[in-house]
Amino acid sequence: GAHGCVVEMGSVDELRSAIRRVLDGEVFCSPAIIKAMFERLAETRPRYAGSAPVEPTSLTARELEVLRLVAQQLSNKEIARKLRISLYTVKNHVHNIVEKLCVEGRYQAVQYARQRRWLPAEVEQG
């Protein structure tokens, strides 16, 4: 298989360096190729902060319940105690919420839900 990748219009020095590195057991990829790959990746990955509209029905009833408790600033341990479920299960619910809403973390999930008025008024003010 290939252990190096250079651009066709690259310099002779870059080609020599690539050959040397591959012969030394390294994998080499031209910076121009790496840059193009990251640009392509950035174009195809989902945007954060809810770029794709998500309905509250895409969350399970339990996930909405966990989200409400996160909005009340309860820790995972407190949520587990309150719902009488394991800490692992709470972490799993929080992970699923974050993934479904395409946000970066639990507090961004709360912000997302508040902006869409998914949370009851008493939770929003709490």
The predicted-structure confidence for 10-22, as pLDDT tens digits, reads as follows: 788 888 888 888 8
Q: 29 phi and psi, to 5 degrees?
A: -140, 130
Given 3.40.190.10, 1.10.10.10, 3.30.70.360, 1.25.50.10, which CATH number is that of 56-125?
1.10.10.10
Chain Cα centroid distance, residue 21: 34
Dihedral sign for Cα 46, 51, 54, 56, please: positive
CA distance 59 to 65: 10
> Domain locations in the chain?
4-44, 56-125
Taking each continuous run of H as one helix and of E as one strand, the counts in the chain are 7, 2
The predicted-structure confidence for 65-120, as pLDDT tens digits, reads as follows: 999 999 999 999 999 999 999 999 999 999 999 999 989 999 999 998 988 888 87
